[in-house]
Amino acid sequence: MDCSQCREVIHRYIDAELGGRDVAEFQGHVGFCPECALELKELAAVHMRLGALPGIAQAAPAGFADRVLGAIALHPAATLAERLAGVTGRARLPRRLSPPTRTLAYSALALAAVAIGLETRHLRRSREVNVG
């Protein structure tokens, strides 16, 4: 297990949602990686403090994850092209901007849309790996 994999499962470890093999891999990594060990220590402390607050549910209701995943499946995310069209279609820059400045601003919006698309793609792949 590497640091990025550790960060992906750290909350599941704290919530005792990992299987035996995954727990062993996680603990092995945390045992030799001081950065991940510190992150685990800090997140576990936050988890304990939140758990001590009155009225905070300790566990999700039965079937919660299945309902959320089902709702996500019913409403697929828009494609990058659809999101980009939506962002640039709504973006209205003041006319007093010079053409080069306007081009730069629209380019920045397009770059932001691409970054959002790449992050969404990464999250979707991570979710598929975790579910599958």
131 and 77 both lie in a single domain: yes
Q: Does 16 map to a domain?
A: yes
Residue in 64, 76, 69, 79 with CA at minimum distance from that of residue 132: 69
Averaged over 75-97, what is the pLDDT?
62
Q: Does 84 map to a domain?
A: yes
Strands (E), the chain: none
How many separate domains does the chain show?
2
- Tell me the one-letter amino acid at 13: Y
What SS3 state is found at 55?
coil
Residue in 74, 76, 80, 84 with CA at minimum distance from that of residue 108: 84
pLDDT at 33: 92
93 and 44 both lie in a single domain: no
pLDDT at 25: 93
pLDDT at 90: 60
The answer, yes or no, to whether residue 61 has pLDDT greater than 80, is no
pLDDT at 19: 86
Q: For residue 125, give both structure tokens.
A: 């792949």
HSE-up (13 A, CA, CB side) for residue 50: 12
**17 is in which domain, residue-wise?**
1-56
Classify each residue of 11-40 as buried b or exposed e, where b means 16 or more C-beta atoms within 10 Å of its C-beta: eebeeeebeeeeeebbeebbeebeebeebb
